[in-house]
Structure 1
Amino acid sequence: MTSPMNRHSLLPLLAALGVLPAQAAQLDVSVQIPQLDVAEYHRPYVAVWVEREDRSVAAQLSVWYQVKRSGPGGGPPAVGADGKPQSGTKWLPDLRQWWRRGGRDIAMPADGLSSATKPVGTHEQSFGDKSPLAALPPGRYKLVVEAAREDGGRELVDLAFDWPAKAATTLDASGKSELGAIRVAVKP
């Protein structure tokens, strides 16, 4: 007489048969904003998104822009020539590729997507089973990072990756002016 299988010995078998739910894949993104030696420095606007092979947007991940604009001395918002409070959204079209590929269709601020501009340094974000990537079908994609800075330049860096990854993968790229090191870690 053989002993009945315990549930721990069934787990590998069920996983191999595809009966168990798949583990959620994760995408970790690291974006470096470099220190620039310029007379008047403005923090860059940055957009991060995922594109399909046909260059259509598969997922919007983040947009860093001037969320609030204060008047002199940190007072009430600055007022434009039309008498209305000025908003940092006016400059979002300077992120040209992001704007053309779907940015213009997003009302800002967008919960979970938009946040304030970031200072010089390395900024990390993780996207997993509760992010826009959760419904992404398996395939080949590009992570795209675009930066634009007032009185500065524009730069776009992209990294191709497979989703979900079969094995942990780390990809690195570097900008030349407005962006520093970009790192993407894809985890199964």
Structure 2
Amino acid sequence: MRLLPIVVTTAGLVAAAPAMAADISVAVELPRIATASYHRPYVAIWIEKPDQTAVQTLAVWYQQTRNNEGDGKDWLKDLRTWWRKGGRAMTLPADGISGATRAAGRQSITVPAARLRGLQPGQYTMVVEAARELGGREVVRVPFRWGAANTANASGSSELGAVRVTVSR
């Protein structure tokens, strides 16, 4: 039997690489709420499988400095859905995930493909949860497809406005 040499070219490696190398961008509208005691919301953003099991937390915005009311981490449990699905198990602050609360208006994050290596192609849900001191709590779910360029939208009604998820190639 004769063995043929195998020649691998750069083009061959690119073609063999998964077609999933993509970034995810999430744009979240934090509405301006007219109230005498407005506090910026705590926000958690994470990815879930179709069965609603958490896959990965992408961002958590909370008060990161201690003040006369205590440590901001004490109030993360007000993000009840995120907290129960894995937030309580996280060590915060977490590099690349933790951030300060954000002002009203359009806020966005972009997560590079390198942080999403374990995500298999398929259907997922981006979940955004917001909770505000002396305010409400709201969860918005946005279904999206990982593995192909696409954009999906959903809207909240009180603590969150428009949420837009973009998977780019």
Query: Is the TM-score greater than 0.5?
Result: yes
Deviation track 1:112-143 (CA, whole Å, cap 9, x = no partner) reads 11111001111111112222x22211121100
* 1:170 counterpart = 2:151: yes
Amino acid at match of 2:158: S
The corresponding residue for 1:145 is: 128
Amino acid at match of 1:179: L
Amino acid at match of 1:185: T
Runs of 4+ in 1 over 2 A off after TM superposition: 18-23
1:170 aligned counterpart, secondary structure? strand
User: Which 5+ residue runs of structure 2 have no aligned equivalent?
Assistant: 1-8
User: Which 5+ residue runs of structure 1 have no aligned equivalent?
Assistant: 1-7, 71-77, 81-85
Output the aligned Cα RMSD: 2.1
Residue correspondences, number: 162
- Residues of 2 paired with 1:163 and 1:21: CA distance? 12
Deviation track 1:36-66 (CA, whole Å, cap 9, x = no partner) reads 0111100000000000112111111000001
* 1:69 counterpart = 2:69: no
2:77 aligned counterpart, secondary structure? helix
Find the structure with the greater CA-based Rg: 1
Alignment of structure 1 residues 26-175 onto 2, 5 Å: 26-70=23-67, 78=68, 86-131=70-115, 133-165=116-148, 168-175=149-156
The corresponding residue for 1:5 is: none
Amino acid at match of 2:60: V
Query: Taking structure 1 as the reference length, what is the TM-score of the superposition?
Result: 0.79
